[in-house]
Amino acid sequence: MSGVGPAESDPDALLQVRDLCKYFDNDSGLLGSVGLDDEFPYVTRSSSNVRAVDGVSFDIKEGETLGLVGESGCGKSTLARTVLRLLEPTSGSVYFQGEDLASLSGEPLRRMRKDMQMIFQDPQSSLDPRMKVGPIVEEPMQAHGMLDEEGREARAKELLEKVGLDPQHYNRYPHAFSGGQRQRVNLARALSVNPDFIVCDEPVSALDVSIQAQVLNTMEELQEEFDLTYLFIAHDLSVIRHISDRVAVMYLGNIVELADKEELFENPRHPYTRALLDAIPVPDPRSGGRDELLSGDVPSPIDPPSGCRFRTRCPKLIQPEAYDMTDETWRNVVRFQRAVKRRAFEETDPDALRGRYFDDGVPSGDAGTLLDEALGHIQRDEWDDAEAILTERFADESVCATAKPAYEIESALTDGRHYAACHLRRDEAVASAVDESALDGAARLGTPEADD
Amino acid sequence: MTEPLLSVRDLKTQFFTEDGTVRAVDGISFDVYEGEIVGLVGESGAGKSVATSSILRLVDSPGEIVGGEIEFKGETIFGLEEDGAGELRPRDEMLTESEMRKRIRGREIAIIFQDPMESLNPVFTVGGQLREFIEINRDLDPDEAREEAIDMLREVGIPAPESRYDEYPHQFSGGMRQRVLIAMALACQPDLIIADEPTTALDVTVEGEILEMVTDLQEKYDTSFIWVTHDMSVVAEICDRVNVMYLGEIIEQAEVDDLFYDTKHPYTSALLDSMPRPDKTVDELRPIEGVMPEAINPPSGCRFHSRCPEAREVCREVHPDLRDLSDEGAATHTGACVKHDAFDVGYDDSPAIETQTGSGFSAGLTETGGEAE
């Protein structure tokens, strides 16, 4: 699956990630995957993977900041570590300055590391408490054989000054610094080997607001001075909006939307991005409330939903081709299906449930028959059967469940490219990477102009 | 206005450490009225959490409440008087430790902490812990308490509460655990709930859900809240009135709209300016220079003068108290900054002072330094 997203060889790109996957083995120990069964052969061996990062592609241009945002557990940090090859990728490739990191190993990889550095979230635990700040900053230079001892000390002092610390603090221990200052030490350490690319994993989320602003400003100044490229991970959309040039939104191991910052924040085209933007509290008491909140928890990455991974929580799930309900009626069905799945109510009386979930539209025809059947099961307290009917016949029939979305659409506000993984964008897509056969008969909204 | 539900007057809590006395809370006063959400906002180290623990008298050695009055529904939670020899001693009507434990904590004033995993015992089921709490505090028998516990879990939006009742805390997600704690706090229908950064550790989507739920429940039960947070966005969203704290003192008190649109204290403005915004692109952040000084040895005069962009000589000398700065007829809006006319200490004629600039050099290095090792 390629074609949507950046071209294979973009001369501006410093880093190109192609179809990167990282699965973790969910079994622990030698016998972890062995289970007992009451049928022959009595012993079964199962294995399940946690698909933390599943088919991610993007480019980072030289000198830009790509923001990566998503809820906890969506795979942001795993992606960052896999890109740097601190974790071994399961499949896919990462081209850094034209070379495939995934195929490097040993000494060539180690040398490559000089150009890529990382800054971690917790400034406390990423500094050795028994080392003085000077040697902490010098250590990477020593590891890469840069300069002699005096040169390194001079450079460390210079860097401390660059990140806004007093070079006199060369001989102090990390505990003598505040959180924001420790993060500055981390910055100085990352800069010591003169890298081109820095991955920042939630670098300011442990800091107070006023300190956060100081560190963000310093990071921007350094980027300009040293011509750095950042991959900036955060869960805080305000920080992302401030620092990024382009933003990628991640959900359950996939990138669901990627566009220029202004475009993404002002013209979000994926329902998940909208939901995220709508959920952030705005520091303005007159901003008014929010429209609709996402319900439910993020599904497990061990067995993620088919098709679009967001479909189990999506407020805009597309109606299956087989039915012809009004939008309100379809919303009601979806709402009811999710309520049954979550066992969110105790009522079993069909009429009461109709009144509660379908007051502005009860489905008729086939859909009506199926709903009656499900309501009958609930009345007899057969919840699993009711759930099976509603899920299999409604939710799983949707194009969102049968085909994986991947569309590139026109940016409305900027010149950059806009990638949105949502089937609602089918008819406006300029490129798509969707398996067309899966769309047959389901293309209710018209066929996208596929040039894949 | 009616009598406040909780009234705190000139509360002082200090910690006696080897390095000296830490004046964590230094003379704060505020009221909480029935059915309102009062914000207590400030950076870490401002004394927010010490203030709330003081209200519940949960301050432990080496800390001690050394002065002030806390009244709750006409009862004295804390109050001192002078005895014959000029020594301070607790007043007679002050609630005893056992009254606090049996009647106030949990029943009348409940508290929700930031980290739900630390407030729940990992080796007991969620339902069991909730049931026990209800059983003890509401004198119900175990079966009734169980029913009540399940009802409360449903009330806070936990799906399938009957089956989740028997699960352990680790089987709940972070947001769900925080819901359980809210259920626990609401279970005895207290008049006041203290929420100490309850959504800070949560994702935005979950935070949104919890904030919506709290607003709904607050309307339903008419509970008052003290909402402790460092996040101005959360304040804007749910609080009715706000107290801004800096280094152990409240420096501005106002209704939420006035605080954002008619900000009186430079610290509050600086805090608002230093935040990146989700709803618009800010080209340049204006951070507050330096870091908050230590409460062991606070700056003289106005405590914010060392970081204040509007500081003048007089700020170093005069310690401003909270004064009413509101226009006639408007809601009370107090602030502690001498630049306002209400102070009349010659701010306008005073020369400006150099504040810490460059945010770096030695600014805010902790007292001890690192060389001693």
CATH number of the domain to which B17 belongs: 3.40.50.300
What's the token pair of residue B333? Answer: 């809006």
pLDDT, position A10: 62
**Look-up of token digits 């001890």:** B368
3-state secondary structure A315-363: CCCCCCCCCCCCHHHHHHHHHHHHHHHHCCCCCCCHHHHHHHHCCCCCC
- Pairwise pLDDT comparison (A346 vs B302), residue with the higher score: B302
- Helix H or strand E segment including B208: helix B204-221
Identify whether B371 is part of a domain: no
Do residues B174 and B251 share a domain? no
Give me the residue from A261, A279, A287 closest to B204, CB to CB: A279
Least confidently predicted of A230-234, A382-386, A446-450, B310-314: A446-450
pLDDT, position B373: 33
B208 touches chain A (CB under 8 A): yes
Contact A210, B274 (CB under 8 A): yes
**What's the pLDDT tens digit per position in A89-100?**
999 999 998 888
User: Would you call A242 and B282 a contact, using CB atoms and an 8 Å cutoff?
Assistant: yes
Residues in chain A closer than 8 A to B279 (CB atoms)? 282, 284, 287
Give me the residue from B261, B274, B278 closest to A282, CB to CB: B278
The interface predicted TM-score of the complex, written ipTM, equals: 0.80
Separation CA A145–CA A110 (nearest Å)? 12
Q: State yes or no: pLDDT of A407 exceeds 80.
A: yes
Q: State yes or no: pLDDT of B20 exceeds 90.
A: no
Do residues B260 and B128 share a domain? no
Do residues B82 and B230 share a domain? yes
User: Would you call B277 and A180 a contact, using CB atoms and an 8 Å cutoff?
Assistant: no
Choose the final residue of a domain: B205, B223, B241.
B241
* Short-list B205, B160, B153, CA closest to B180: B153
Neighbours of A219 (CB within 10 A): 23
Band the pLDDT of A192: cuts 50, 70, 90: very high
Separation CA A420–CA A251 (nearest Å)? 12
Give B333→chain A minimum CA distance, Å. 16
What's the token pair of residue A8? Answer: 């294979």
Q: State yes or no: pLDDT of A8 exceeds 60.
A: no
Least confidently predicted of B101-105, B237-241, B333-337: B101-105
Do residues B106 and B138 share a domain? yes
User: Would you call A71 and B275 a contact, using CB atoms and an 8 Å cutoff?
Assistant: no
Do residues B108 and B16 share a domain? yes
Identify whether B368 is part of a domain: no
B270 touches chain A (CB under 8 A): yes
How far, rounded to the nearest angstrom, does the alpha carbon of residue A440 sit from its chain's CA centroid? Answer: 29
CATH class for domain A13-27+46-244?
alpha beta
B230 touches chain A (CB under 8 A): yes
Q: Which residues does A197 contact at the CB level (< 8 Å), separation at least 6? A: A14, A15, A60, A96, A115, A116, A117, A228, A229, A230, A231
Do residues B193 and B236 share a domain? yes
A91-96: strand order across its sheet: A49-61, A13-25, A91-96, A99-100
Q: State yes or no: pLDDT of B71 exceeds 70.
A: yes
Taking each helix axis from N to C terminus, what angle separates B126-138 and B142-155, rounded to the nearest 10 degrees? Answer: 120
β-sheet bridge partners, residue A50: A24
Burial class of residue A373 in the structure, from the number of CB atoms within 10 Å of its CB (0-12 exposed, 13-18 middle, 19+ buried)? middle
Contact A21, A91 (CB under 8 A): yes
Arithmetic mean of pLDDT, A348-362: 85
**φ, ψ dihedrals at A372, nearest 5°:** -60, -45
**What's the pLDDT tens digit per position in B97-140?**
888 888 888 889 999 888 777 889 999 999 999 999 898 888 88
Separation CA B199–CA B39 (nearest Å)? 14
* Nearest residue in B to A185, CA atom: B360
Do residues B221 and B257 share a domain? no
Residues in chain A closer than 8 A to B289 (CB atoms)? 214
Q: State yes or no: pLDDT of A294 exceeds 80.
A: no
Q: State yes or no: pLDDT of A440 exceeds 60.
A: no
Do residues B237 and B253 share a domain? no
Give B160→chain A minimum CA distance, Å. 5
As a whole number of Å, the CA-based R_g of chain A is 26
Give B260→chain A minimum CA distance, Å. 7
Give A241→chain B minimum CA distance, Å. 6
pLDDT, position A255: 93
Least confidently predicted of A122-136, A285-299, A363-377: A285-299
> Which one-letter DSSP state was computed for residue B61?
T
Contact A71, B203 (CB under 8 A): yes
Question: Domains in chain B: how many in total?
Answer: 2
Arithmetic mean of pLDDT, A6-14: 62
Give me the residue from A161, A176, A283 closest to B277, CB to CB: A283
Q: State yes or no: pLDDT of B365 exceeds 70.
A: no
Residues in chain A closer than 8 A to B200 (CB atoms)? none
Per-residue CA distances from B201 to A235, B115, B176, B231 (Å): 11, 7, 12, 12
Separation CA B68–CA B79 (nearest Å)? 6
Domain ranges of chain A: 13-27+46-244, 327-397
Residues in chain A closer than 8 A to B235 (CB atoms)? 283
**What's the pLDDT tens digit per position in B140-163?**
889 999 999 999 998 888 878 888
pLDDT, position A27: 64
Per-residue CA distances from A194 to A140, A181, B303, B360 (Å): 10, 20, 41, 22
* Nearest residue in A to B370, CA atom: A172
Neighbours of B57 (CB within 10 A): 17
User: Would you call B362 and A166 a contact, using CB atoms and an 8 Å cutoff?
Assistant: yes
User: Would you call A210 and B287 a contact, using CB atoms and an 8 Å cutoff?
Assistant: yes
Give A197→chain B minimum CA distance, Å. 23
Residues in chain A closer than 8 A to B366 (CB atoms)? 175-178
Band the pLDDT of A29: cuts 50, 70, 90: low
What's the token pair of residue B164? Answer: 């989740």
pLDDT, position B205: 82
**φ, ψ dihedrals at A342, nearest 5°:** -85, -5
Contact B223, B217 (CB under 8 A): yes
| B145: containing domain | 6-46+57-241
Do residues B334 and B223 share a domain? no
B283 touches chain A (CB under 8 A): no
B210 touches chain A (CB under 8 A): no
Arithmetic mean of pLDDT, A322-331: 87
Arithmetic mean of pLDDT, B65-94: 86
Give A62→chain B minimum CA distance, Å. 21
- Pairwise pLDDT comparison (A364 vs A1), residue with the higher score: A364
Give B96→chain A minimum CA distance, Å. 38
Q: State yes or no: pLDDT of A3 exceeds 60.
A: no
Do residues B256 and B225 share a domain? no
pLDDT, position A281: 84
DSSP for B220-244 reads HH--EEEEEES-HHHHHHH-SEEEE
Q: State yes or no: pLDDT of A442 exceeds 50.
A: no
Q: State yes or no: pLDDT of B60 exceeds 80.
A: yes
Band the pLDDT of A449: cuts 50, 70, 90: very low
Q: Which residues does A398 contact at the CB level (< 8 Å), separation at least 6? A: A307, A311, A317, A318, A319, A320
pLDDT, position A292: 67
> Which one-letter DSSP state was computed for residue B294?
P
Contact A277, B279 (CB under 8 A): no
Q: Characterize the bridge pairing of strands B37-41 and B241-246.
A: parallel
* Nearest residue in B to A339, CA atom: B159
Band the pLDDT of A346: cuts 50, 70, 90: confident
B153 touches chain A (CB under 8 A): no
Residues in chain A closer than 8 A to B275 (CB atoms)? 209, 213, 238, 283
* Nearest residue in B to A173, CA atom: B370
Helix %, strand %, coil % of chain B (to 5): 30, 25, 45
Q: Which residues does B278 contact at the CB level (< 8 Å), separation at least 6? A: A237, A238, A241, A265, A277, A280, A282, B233
Choose the final residue of a domain: B186, B207, B241.
B241
- Best of A208, A236, A345 to disrupt the B interface (most B CBs within 10 Å) is A208
Separation CA A233–CA A248 (nearest Å)? 10
Arithmetic mean of pLDDT, A43-54: 76
pLDDT, position A434: 66
**What's the pLDDT tens digit per position in A202-244?**
888 888 888 888 889 999 999 999 999 999 999 888 899 999 9
Q: Which residues does A14 contact at the CB level (< 8 Å), separation at least 6? A: A60, A61, A62, A96, A97, A196, A197, A229
Q: Which residues does A372 contact at the CB level (< 8 Å), separation at least 6? A: A350
pLDDT, position B266: 93
Q: State yes or no: pLDDT of A437 exceeds 60.
A: no
Do residues B255 and B220 share a domain? no
**φ, ψ dihedrals at A50, nearest 5°:** -90, 115
**What's the pLDDT tens digit per position in A235-287?**
888 899 999 999 999 999 999 999 999 999 999 999 999 988 888 888 888 87
* Nearest residue in A to B257, CA atom: A285
Give B322→chain A minimum CA distance, Å. 23
Q: What is the mean pLDDT of chain B?
A: 86
Distance from the first to the final alpha carbon of chain A: 9
User: Would you call A293 and B209 a contact, using CB atoms and an 8 Å cutoff?
Assistant: yes
pLDDT, position A195: 93
Arithmetic mean of pLDDT, A393-403: 89
Helix %, strand %, coil % of chain A (to 5): 40, 20, 45
Separation CA B85–CA B329 (nearest Å)? 46
* Nearest residue in B to A234, CA atom: B203
Residues in chain A closer than 8 A to B44 (CB atoms)? 208
pLDDT, position A445: 40
**What's the pLDDT tens digit per position in B205-235?**
888 888 888 888 888 888 999 999 988 989 9
What's the token pair of residue A169? Answer: 């603090």
Do residues B68 and B194 share a domain? yes
Residues in chain A closer than 8 A to B368 (CB atoms)? 176
Choose the final residue of a domain: B218, B241, B264.
B241
Least confidently predicted of A7-16, B106-115, B172-181: A7-16
Cβ contacts below 8 Å, chain A against chain B, sum to: 178
Kindly state the percentage of chain A with pLDDT values over 70.
87
Give A76→chain B minimum CA distance, Å. 14
pLDDT, position B372: 35
Arithmetic mean of pLDDT, B54-63: 89
Q: State yes or no: pLDDT of B252 exceeds 90.
A: yes
Give me the residue from A163, A212, A235 closest to B203, CB to CB: A235
Q: State yes or no: pLDDT of A446 exceeds 90.
A: no
Separation CA B4–CA B337 (nearest Å)? 26
DSSP for A117-143 reads EEE-S-TTTTS-TTS-HHHHHHHHHHH
Per-residue CA distances from B87 to A124, A199, B82 (Å): 44, 60, 5
Tally: H helices and E strands in chain A = 15, 15
Least confidently predicted of A441-445, B36-40, B105-109, B186-190: A441-445
Residues in chain B closer than 8 A to A277 (CB atoms)? 278
Q: State yes or no: pLDDT of B363 exceeds 90.
A: no
With the CA atoms of A266, A271, A276 and A282 taken in that order, what torsion angle do they form, in degrees rounded to the nearest 10? 50
- Best of B117, B204, B216 to disrupt the A interface (most A CBs within 10 Å) is B204
pLDDT, position A138: 93
Give me the residue from B160, B176, B232 closest to A283, CB to CB: B232
How far, rounded to the nearest angstrom, does the alpha carbon of residue A107 sit from its chain's CA centroid? Answer: 31
Residues in chain A closer than 8 A to B293 (CB atoms)? none
Contact A409, A426 (CB under 8 A): no
Q: State yes or no: pLDDT of B292 exceeds 70.
A: yes
Band the pLDDT of B347: cuts 50, 70, 90: confident
Arithmetic mean of pLDDT, B315-320: 89
Residues in chain B closer than 8 A to A285 (CB atoms)? 236-237, 256-257, 259-261
Band the pLDDT of A58: cuts 50, 70, 90: very high
